[in-house]
Amino acid sequence: MFRYFGFGSNMNMTSLRAKGVIPFASRRAVLQGWRLRFNVQHFFRHEGGVGNIERTDNPADKVLGVLYDCPDEALPSLDAMEAYGHGYDRITVNVDVDDKEQVSALTYIGMPEFIDDACLPTQRYLNLLIEGARSADLASEFVSHLTEHPVHQPDEYPLFKPPAGDFPRFDAAALANQPLYTALYGAVFDMSGARPLHDYLKIFFGGRDMTLFHIKRLDSSDGNETLEDICHGRINDAQRHYLNCYLNEYAREYRYVGHFDYNSNCNSNLTPRKE
């Protein structure tokens, strides 16, 4: 078992479970002499900045969060989801738990090359923190701080349309054989020419359809969305809008190379995307 101090979206149990981590127990915890920031730039521009902690050694500064007792087998998944070594480093900190004891715990801190102090969190991201903080019964002043925090204003994206021309169709098996290709909501992209910041995503996204991955990170997710929902077009307006943002960002970062066919996964017809 290992202990993990969650201070960002991982205070939200639904988000944590979506990352493959089901803790044994959770408790309120405080990291003294540090402050919460949102200055780790996300891989994609519309997602703004995500959570980080900075040491100040000022006793007046503190970061509120949740201490989780986690099974050892959850650590590789947590490392992967937190982009350990590719955006975040993993460190050990001492946190105060329920004003009763101090314990050591793992947590993640932004790597210097990914820090941009101009970044702001999105409303989606803040909503995850607010829900997590409320569920953990953290201090109301902290929840108010999150609620009132300025947010990133993303671009308005046009409805994504694949480029004109004849492109091949991929099913899950064909995609898996292309380690530098990734799929999203019916579109397949080649990541081989992506900027160095995306080197980690070439490994994480490569050969996979990422539609369900992104849907489960919406602040409205209950963690129960399935591939069947995607196959049958059971996508609501918020999910469709979120995926369209990502389709535009994928098209900005990667090269469109084909259509992803969900039929082979679901043995049913996919409801066409609204275009």
State residue 265's pLDDT score: 64
Q: What is the mean pLDDT of each run of 10 residues along the chain (275 residues)?
A: 95 88 95 97 94 95 96 93 92 90 96 95 96 95 96 93 95 96 97 92 95 93 88 90 96 97 64 40
Q: What is the DSSP letter of 12?
A: S
State residue 268's pLDDT score: 45
The pTM assigned to this predicted structure is: 0.89
State residue 267's pLDDT score: 55
User: In 10 A of CB 232, how many CB atoms?
Assistant: 15
Residue 261, classified by CB atoms within 10 Å of its CB into exposed (0-12), middle (13-18) or buried (19+), is middle
Name residue 92's beta-bridge partners.
Answer: 106
State residue 270's pLDDT score: 41
State residue 154's pLDDT score: 85
**Tokens 């001492």 appear where?**
94
Residue 229, classified by CB atoms within 10 Å of its CB into exposed (0-12), middle (13-18) or buried (19+), is middle
DSSP 58-118: -TT-EEEEEEEEE-GGGHHHHHHHTTBTTTEEEEEEEEEETTTEEEEEEEEEE-GGGB-TT
Residue 5, classified by CB atoms within 10 Å of its CB into exposed (0-12), middle (13-18) or buried (19+), is buried
* Cα 139 versus chain centre, distance: 25
Alpha helices in the chain (DSSP H): 13-18, 75-81, 123-135, 140-148, 172-176, 199-205, 211-215, 227-231, 237-253, 263-266
